[in-house]
């Protein structure tokens, strides 16, 4: 998500192991709609994840700082509301450990925003997947202004990695919640709300991270982050917000105009050489919904979220949001 820095302060990677066979895109199940119209009072979700335990979606809320369950019929119920988080962005399900994690911050659009939290609250919320009860929060700002936890992903060992779009950092938190800075490279990753945004973890042991403003994609080995390298692309992915890695190896990139001059669309990239290089193999756009942010890979296809954030940032509240299946 691109933020107060620009049009907004830039605010999923579905776990590959829970999606079944890794040979291709998951088959669509009969009866699942191509478009899901969600309805909940001023929810304005930015992040989405597939929950294999419930066999449905979880979404965050920039307005309420919650995590909610969304059914295929569009019905919504709150799973997490700890009364502290102002805006929840990325959501990630760690089914192996019974956790749901969210990146949180306060870009100034939440119902609970205050002078004490605005541009100061930034971290990871970790909750019980079954009950929504708080396990722990990981503070990534120490109360200092100018941080913006944006997207997150979890590796096979349970370590969480979070992009900070404001500072140009990637943070890591181990399964016990102990934080550290994995990488601080604003010169490469950008900063000030248009820096590192979407992130996925590859089973080969590296992260893929997109820089929102320039559209550069970076390969970051988790065991040696100083060896960060740009992926050579056939075209930059300017406005790249959410990333999702499919079981067949395709990288879904959701691009929007929140803080970039692009036509909103969704691309799929593939790499023949372990993400030293990559090329665009499909493009769906202009996207039918105005401000798509990210995507979730499910057994029923890849669904792209549009949470009416443009309305929220312009001062209008909306009770609807859209999950739309990507056809490529």
What is the DSSP code string of 95-116? Answer: GGGTEEEEEEE--S-STT--TT
Q: What is the mean pLDDT of residues 128-139?
A: 98
Q: What pLDDT is stored for residue 2 in this prediction?
A: 54
Q: Does position 23 have pLDDT exceeding 60, yes or no?
A: no
Q: How does DSSP classify residue 187?
A: H
H or E stretch including 67?
strand 67-70
Q: What is the mean pLDDT of residues 32-40?
A: 97
Q: What is the mean pLDDT of residues 169-181?
A: 97
Q: What is the mean pLDDT of residues 43-48?
A: 98
> Residues 264-282: pLDDT tens digits?
999 999 999 999 999 999 9
Q: What pLDDT is stored for residue 178 in this prediction?
A: 97
Neighbour count for residue 203 (Cβ, 10 Å): 11
Closest CA to 278 of 246, 217, 233: 233
Pairwise CA distance, residues 52 & 50, whole Å: 6
> Residues 90-127: pLDDT tens digits?
999 999 999 999 999 999 999 999 999 999 999 999 99
Q: How far is CA 96 from CA 23, 92, 121, in A?
A: 21, 12, 28
Could you state, in order of their start, the residue ranges of all structural domains in the chain?
16-325
Q: What pLDDT is stored for residue 265 in this prediction?
A: 96
**268 Cβ contact partners less than 8 Å away, ≥ 6 residues apart:** 246, 250, 251, 252, 253, 280, 281, 282, 283, 326, 328
Share of the chain above pLDDT 70, in %: 91
Q: Does position 5 have pLDDT exceeding 90, yes or no?
A: no
**Counting every residue, how long is the chain?**
328
- Token duo for residue 29: 């199940």
Q: What pLDDT is stored for residue 328 in this prediction?
A: 85
ω into 13 cis (within 30 of 0): no
Closest CA to 148 of 118, 187, 116: 118
Q: Confirm if 7 and 309 have CB atoms less than 8 A apart.
A: no
Q: Does position 88 have pLDDT exceeding 60, yes or no?
A: yes
Closest CA to 125 of 42, 75, 61: 61
> Residues 156-172: pLDDT tens digits?
999 999 999 999 999 99
- What's the CATH code, domain 16-325? 2.120.10.30
Q: What pLDDT is stored for residue 29 in this prediction?
A: 53
What's the pTM? 0.92
Q: Does position 13 have pLDDT exceeding 60, yes or no?
A: no
Mean predicted lDDT score pLDDT of the chain = 92
Radius of gyration of the chain (CA): 17
> Residues 185-216: pLDDT tens digits?
999 999 999 999 999 999 999 999 999 999 99
Cite the DSSP H helix spans in the chain. 186-189, 309-313
Cite the DSSP H helix spans in 18-130. none
Q: What pLDDT is stored for residue 142 in this prediction?
A: 82
């Amino acid at each position: 998500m691109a933020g107060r820095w620009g049009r907004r302060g830039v605010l999923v990677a579905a776990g590959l192991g829970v999606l079944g066979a890794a040979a291709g895109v998951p088959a669509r199940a009969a009866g699942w709609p191509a478009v899901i119209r969600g309805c909940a009072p001023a929810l304005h979700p930015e992040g989405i994840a597939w929950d294999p335990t419930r066999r449905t979606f979880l979404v965050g809320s920039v307005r309420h700082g919650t995590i909610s369950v969304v059914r295929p019929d569009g019905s919504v119920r709150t799973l997490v509301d700890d009364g502290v988080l102002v805006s929840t962005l990325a959501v990630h399900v760690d089914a192996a450990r019974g956790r749901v994690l969210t990146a949180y911050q306060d870009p100034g659009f939440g119902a609970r925003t205050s002078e004490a939290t605005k541009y100061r609250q930034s971290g990871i919320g970790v909750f019980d997947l079954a009950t929504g009860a708080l396990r722990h929060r990981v503070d990534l700002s120490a109360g200092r202004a100018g941080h913006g936890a944006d997207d997150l992903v979890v590796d096979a060992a349970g370590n969480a990695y979070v992009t900070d779009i404001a500072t140009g950092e990637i943070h890591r938190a181990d399964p016990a919640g102990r934080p550290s800075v994995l990488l601080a490279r604003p010169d490469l990753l950008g900063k000030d709300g248009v820096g590192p945004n979407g992130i996925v973890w590859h089973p080969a042991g590296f992260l893929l991270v997109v820089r929102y403003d320039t559209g550069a994609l970076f390969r970051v080995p988790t065991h040696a982050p100083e060896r960060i390298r740009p992926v050579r692309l056939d075209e930059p992915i300017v406005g790249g917000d959410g990333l999702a890695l499919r079981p067949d190896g395709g990288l879904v990139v959701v691009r929007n105009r929140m803080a970039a001059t692009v036509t909103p669309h969704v691309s799929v990239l593939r790499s023949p050489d372990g993400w030293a290089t990559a090329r665009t193999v499909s493009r769906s756009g202009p996207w039918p919904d105005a401000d798509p942010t990210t995507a979730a890979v499910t057994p029923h296809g890849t669904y792209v979220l549009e949470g009416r954030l443009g309305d929220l940032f312009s001062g209008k509240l909306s009770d609807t949001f859209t999950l739309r299946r990507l056809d490529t």
